[in-house]
């Protein structure tokens, strides 16, 4: 008997990332409490659990709505492109709106909540439901006065759900100093999930934490999550760690002379590359050459741009001999250009991961990462970058990040925080000598290869990028 304890059965939620952090989903045949303040995403998460159950796992579900009417629910979820009415028609979902309003009810003497049980049971039986959501059952505490009856009936309800083998979610409003206002956590022993929605610096971040999961290992971190067009996605990246493989394969940087500086072979596949430099030193051009080289090999390339529009990039790169349009037409090169301030960091990361998953590229460019510094604190940026780098490495995607360093300061200064997570670091500089301004490139580091320590002239011509002679220390003035 005891042997079975280790094998806790789980019900997948189908929620992006959630099943990963819980090693498979919610405890099957048990009740899970999702708590959080108003607007933290409880209802959406619970609904998504049912919708995915109905659509992906052939498990019909019942939604008992204490707060929202069917119309309101339908509207809330409409943006996710899900037709609740259609799911109801096809017997995959049953929704019952239960309205309890204290001012309309007089209480006298003994009663029980059998009416609720009957409604729930008839909804469950009508479609052979395997999943149930009660959102949010604490409305009963506000609607009825006899707390003793409610509490004993809730206990009976949770036992009933368990006896029926239903995998259930109950939602609860966050209370002061307690998980829920009415202590629902007392009744739910198996799994408790806490949702949080914070706003700092005008940017909102949603986070999720598994407070308790009896009999199962689970991540204990706060995981950022996104409520996007396709519903909730949780970012389980902090748990990825350093388990990614290391490829011995090499790919070209897109500049032949630069490959020569990198042990004559270029970058390692799946490595992360940082290109830093002051404005106008050619970071984007180098990054785009890198993408173009990948496309020429028939690989897929993805560009995340935070400064210029796609049209602008294609026009500008034409002037340095990089014709990117054919690769866009072939579907090899994808552009994703947004302003970083439009979204919070977490939202950004989530949408980037989503796009990477969709396009499945071999190489990625993020141009530039310094723009994120404008949207949040350095620590936040770094943790986001670590998660992004881990994610890309897991997929053996070679990624180039550009970083704009400020004029005047030491070129290497601002990059310290991110350089540790990068395998290769290229520095582009602006040099003045003999009344002329020119650019130079050097390899500050490149893990796992013997690389050149030379400072080479970096030349942007209408035939692309090539490198010039090694700089003579006496004639060049660095800035």
Binding footprint of another protein on the chain (CB under 8 A): 96, 98-100, 104-116, 118-119, 121-122, 140, 143-144
Which secondary structure element, helix H or strand E, spans residue 401, and what is its range? strand 398-404
Contact 196, 36 (CB under 8 A): yes
Nearer to another protein, 120 or 255 (CB): 120
| Least distance in angstroms from the C-beta of 195 to another protein | 26
Name the residue nearer to another protein (CB basis): 119 or 433.
119
User: H or E segment at 87?
Assistant: helix 84-89
The smaller minimum CB distance to another protein, of residues 112 and 229, is found at 112
Largest CA distance in the chain: 99
> Which of 111, 165 has the CB closer to another protein?
111
Half-sphere exposure of 130 (CA within 13 A, CB side): 19
Q: Between 116 and 385, name the residue whose CB sits nearer to another protein.
A: 116
How far apart, in whole angstroms, are the C-alpha atoms of residue 180 and residue 358? Answer: 38
Nearer to another protein among residue 112 and residue 201 (C-beta)? 112
177 φ, ψ to 5°? 70, 5
- Please calculate the CA angle 233-235-239 and round it to the nearest 5 degrees: 150
How far apart are CB 191 and another protein at their closest, in Å?
A: 26
State whether the Cα torsion 317-320-322-323 is positive or negative. Answer: positive
Instruction: Decide: helix, strand or coil at residue 442.
Output: strand
Whether 277 and 429 have beta carbons less than 8 Å apart is answered as yes
Cα 81 to Cα 51, 58, 74, 95, 359, distances in angstroms: 11, 19, 10, 18, 21
Q: Minimum distance between the CB of residue 175 and another protein, rounded to whole angstroms?
A: 23
Tell me the closest approach of the beta carbon of residue 147 to another protein, in angstroms: 13
**Least CB distance to another protein at residue 121 (A):** 7
Closest CB 138 distance from another protein, rounded Å: 13
């Amino acid at each position: 008997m005891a042997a079975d304890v280790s094998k806790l059965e789980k019900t997948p939620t189908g929620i992006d990332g959630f099943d990963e952090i819980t090693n498979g989903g919610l405890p099957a045949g048990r009740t899970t409490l999702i708590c959080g303040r108003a607007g933290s995403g409880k209802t959406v998460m619970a609904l998504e659990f049912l919708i995915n159950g109905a659509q992906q796992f052939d498990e019909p579900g019942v939604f008992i709505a204490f707060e929202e009417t069917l119309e309101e629910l339908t509207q809330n979820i409409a943006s996710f492109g899900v037709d609740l009415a259609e799911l109801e028609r096809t017997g995959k979902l049953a929704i019952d709106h239960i309205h309890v309003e204290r001012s309309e009810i007089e209480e006298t003497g003994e009663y029980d909540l059998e009416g609720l049980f009957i409604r729930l049971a008839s909804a469950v039986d009508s479609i052979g439901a395997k999943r149930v959501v009660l959102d949010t059952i604490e409305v009963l505490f506000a609607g009825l006065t006899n707390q003793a009856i409610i509490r004993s009936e809730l206990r009976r309800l949770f036992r009933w759900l368990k006896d029926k083998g239903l995998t259930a979610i109950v939602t609860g409003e966050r209370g002061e100093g307690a998980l829920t206002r009415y202590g629902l956590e007392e009744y739910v022993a198996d799994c408790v999930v806490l949702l949080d929605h914070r706003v700092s610096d005008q940017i909102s971040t949603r986070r999720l934490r598994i407070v308790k999961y009896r009999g199962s290992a689970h991540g204990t971190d706060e995981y950022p999550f996104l409520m996007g067009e396709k519903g909730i996605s949780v970012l389980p990246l902090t748990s990825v760690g350093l388990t990614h493989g290391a490829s011995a394969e090499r790919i070209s940087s897109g500049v032949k002379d630069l490959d020569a500086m990198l042990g004559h072979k270029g970058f390692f596949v799946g490595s992360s590359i940082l290109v830093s430099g002051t404005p106008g030193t050619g970071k984007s051009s180098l990054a785009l050459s890198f993408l173009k080289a990948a496309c020429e090999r028939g690989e897929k390339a993805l560009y995340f741009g935070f400064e210029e529009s796609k049209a602008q990039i294609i026009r500008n790169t034409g002037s340095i001999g990089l014709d990117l349009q054919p690769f866009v037409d072939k579907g090899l090169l994808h552009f994703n250009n947004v302003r970083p301030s439009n979204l919070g960091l977490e939202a950004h990361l989530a949408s980037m991961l989503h796009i990477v998953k969709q396009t499945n590229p071999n190489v990625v460019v993020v141009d530039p990462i310094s723009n994120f510094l404008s949207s949040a604190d350095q620590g936040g940026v770094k943790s986001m970058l670590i998660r992004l780098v881990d994610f890309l490495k897991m997929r053996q995607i070679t990624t180039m990040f550009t970083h704009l360093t400020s004029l005047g300061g030491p070129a290497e200064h601002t990059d310290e925080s991110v350089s540790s997570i990068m395998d290769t670091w290229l520095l582009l500089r602006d040099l003045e000598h003999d009344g002329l301004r020119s650019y130079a490139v050097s390899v500050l580091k490149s893990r796992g290869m013997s690389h050149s320590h030379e400072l080479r002239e970096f030349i942007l011509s209408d035939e692309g990028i090539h490198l010039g002679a090694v700089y003579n220390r006496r004639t060049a003035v660095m800035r």
